[in-house]
Chain A
Amino acid sequence: MSRSARFAALLLVALTVPAQAQDKPRNFGIGHLATPEQIAGWDIDVRPDGQGAPPGRGSVKQGEKVYLDKCAACHGEFGESAGRWPQLAQGKGTLASHDPVKTVGSYFPYVSSVFDYIRRAMPFGDAQSLSTDDLYAVTAYVLNLNDIVDDKFVLSKETWNAVKMPNRNGFYDDDREKSEKAFWTADPCMRDCRGPVTITGRARAVDVTPDDKTQKRGVE
C-alpha cells in the first residue's frame, strides 16, 4: 500500500468511526407518552405470579350465579360443554389416553391462564363486560366445578397463590432439537429407501370433507 493510499485509508477510518460508534439507537421522536390513565384502561393481563391481578374478590357461590347467567349456555351447567364449545370441567386422568380431554382442571397450568382469558375474551360476544368481582367469582366457580377449591372459597389477589392447579407440572420446554435430533440427517436416502408400499388409509373412506359441487373429483 502506498503512503498516500494508507493515508486515505486512515482518513476513511477516522471519518467512519464516529458513525459506527454511534451504537445508541436513534430517537425518531414519534408517539406520545402514555398516561397512567390510558394504560390502566388497557392493561388487563395477569401473570401466574398474580402480577396484574386487579383489586377485588369473588366467592364460588357468587360465581355460580354469574356462570349460570353468562356461561352455561355454551359451556354447559357443569362445565361439560354444549355442542362444540370448550369443555371446562372433568377430564382428569385422560391426558395420556387415546382421547385426552383438556379442561381447566385437567390441563390449564395456572389460575392466571383462566382468569386472564375470561377477563379479555369472555363472555363470548360481550368481552370485557364483567365486573372485577364477578371475574374473580366466576373463575372461583369454574375452579370449584373442577374440585380444585371448595364451596366456601373466595378468590382474590390474596388467595391467588393458595390455588394448586392439578396440571401445574404438565408442561416442559420445547425439546425438539434433542428429542427429534434424528430428523437432522441432511442427506436422506434416495434409492430403494423402503420395502413395498401399501395404502393403509383413505380420506374417502373417512368421508368428512365438506361437499363442494364446484370441485372437480374425477371418477367415483
Chain B
Amino acid sequence: MKKPPETAHASRRKFLVGASGFAAASATSARADNTKNLPPNVADWTRNLGDGVGVRPYGHPSQYEKDVIRRTVPWLTATPESSVAFTPLHELDGIITPNGLCFERHHGGIAEIDPNDYRLMLHGLVDKPLIITLEDLKRLPRVNRVYFLECAANSGMEWRGAQLNGCQYTHGMIHCVQYTGVPLKLLLEQAGLKANAKWLMAEGGDAAAMNRSIPLAKALDDCLVAYRMNGEMLRPEQGYPVRLVVPGWQGNMWVKWLRRIKVGDAPWYTREETSKYTDLMESGKARKFTFAMDAKSVITSPSPQSPVKQKGFTVISGLAWSGRGKIKRVDTSFDGGRNWRTARIDGPVFDKACVRFYSEIDWNGEPLLLQSRAIDDTGYVQPDKDALRKIRGVNSIYHNNGIQTWSVKSSGEVENVEVG
C-alpha cells in the first residue's frame, strides 16, 4: 500500500511553525519534499491505470481516509463487550452518518444472527400471538425515515466540567441515518391489541437480551421495526437483521437484534430503566422514563481533533437535533455566548433528525470561544451547562444537552473548555 502523501507527524511539525507557517502549510497540502505529482508534472494516477471493476466488490473509503474511524475510551468501561465506540463527528459533513461509522453501544457484544433463523415474537395482551420471520417483515408495506439516534449518556462525561478533548468523545454517541422498516403500529395490528394494552416491552436477542418498556402511545405513533439503514441491511453492530426505531427518544430504547415484543398493561421497570437510564438529581431522587432527547447542537469542525489550519475565510460546521420535533434555528457565538448570530442550515430538515449548520468567519487569528445553540419547533432553546446544572446538579449522567464551548487559539489549536 502506498504511503499517504502527508503523515500526521509531518502535519504536526508544520503546525509547530506557528502563525507564520500558516500560509506555507496551506499553499501545498502535499509533502514539501515530493512534487512529482504536482503541476507541471503529470501525476502517477494520471499516467497509470487504476484497479478495474470488481476489484472492490464492496467499496471502502480511500486509503488516505484510514483515520476516519470509530474510537473508544478504554477507561470508561470494564470490558469491550459492554462498552461504546464513538462516531468521528469531526470528520463528517451533511446529515447522514455512513453505516460503518455509526457509534456502537453494546451490552453483550455484537450478536451475529443468521437471517434464516431470525424470529420476532409478538405476544402478551394481543388477540393472536405471532412469530414473524425476516421474509414476513419484508413483505409488509414499508416506509423510509431519517432519524437521529442519540445515546442518553452522550456528553455524560462532561457534567462536572470539560473532560474529553474531542468532539468524537464529547458528542460522538449520535448518528443519523435513513431507516427502511415497517411501522410498529401495523405489526401490532396483525396481532391485534387487547383493550387493556398500555405498554410494551422490547427485548433483544443478544447476550444481554436488552429490554425496555415503551408506552403504547409512542409505539402506535411513529416507531418502526427497521431492517435497513441507508439502503442496505442493518450492520451487525446496529442490530442486524432487525432493530426497533423509537424516533427522538433515548438510544437505549432502540432495541437491536429485536427478538420479542410483549404487550402489557404497565411498565416493567427493567434494570435498564431503573439502575441505568434514570437521572439522579441533587436531592438524591431520580427522574425516570426521561424518554425524549432535548434539543442539542455541537460544532463538529473546528473542534479539538479538527484544528483550524490557516487564517482567512473559515467555515464553522456543526450538527443540531431535537427529540421533540424539527430544528427551527441554530445560533453560533464566537465569544463564549456574549453575542450570537444565526447560522445557515443547509440540507434537509426532517423531524427528529440531525440538521447541518454553517457559520462563516474571516478569521484573523484572534482567539475564539465557539459555541452553538439549537432551537426546536416547540420553542425549546438549548441551555448552557450552568443553567442545566442549576436544575439537575452534576450526578445525572444522562441527558447532558448543555452548550459546548471550543477554545480556538491563535495557533489554530482547539480545546474543549468550560467557561464562566
Contacts and interface: CB of A to CB of B under 8 A. Distances in A.
Interface stretch (B171-179, B299-307, B311-319): B299-307
A34 B129 contact: yes
Contacts of A42: 121, 259-260
Contact of A174 (B140, B287, B413): B287
26 contacts: A28-B140, A30-B139, A32-B131, A33-B128, A33-B129, A34-B123, A39-B123, A49-B266, A84-B75, A96-B282, A107-B275, A121-B208, A125-B81, A171-B286, A183-B294, A183-B382, A184-B381, A185-B379, A186-B375, A189-B340, A193-B339, A193-B340, A202-B162, A204-B165, A206-B161, A219-B18
B72 interface: yes
B230 interface: no
Nearest to B18: A219
Given A113-B269, A209-B164, A31 B123 contact: no
Interface of B: 8-9, 11-12, 15-16, 18, 67, 71-75, 77-79, 81-82, 107-108, 121-123, 128-133, 136-137, 139-140, 161-166, 169, 186, 189-190, 201, 203, 207-211, 259-260, 262, 264, 266, 268-271, 274-275, 278, 280, 282-292, 294, 304-307, 331, 335-341, 369, 373, 375, 378-383, 387, 391, 395, 407, 409, 411-420
B379 A184 contact: yes
**Dominant SS at the A interface?**
loop
Contact of B280 (A45, A95, A193, A218): A95
B394 to A, nearest CB: 8
A110 B418 contact: no
Contacts of A175: 287
B207 A121 contact: yes
Interface string A8-26: 0000000000000000011
A33 B338 contact: no
Given A108-B274, A217-B12, A218-B414, A47 B269 contact: yes
Contacts of A197: 335-338, 369, 419-420
Contact of B209 (A120, A200, A214, A217): A120
Contacts of A112: 268-269
A127 B208 CA distance: 7
Contact of B78 (A39, A83, A95, A215): A83
Contacts of B129: 33-34, 39
Interface of A: 25-28, 30-34, 38-39, 42-49, 74, 83-85, 95-96, 98, 100, 102, 107-110, 112-114, 116-117, 120-121, 124-125, 127-128, 170-176, 179-180, 182-186, 188-194, 197-204, 206, 208-210, 212-219
A174 B290 contact: yes
Contacts of B382: 183
A214 B395 CA distance: 33
Contacts of B82: 124
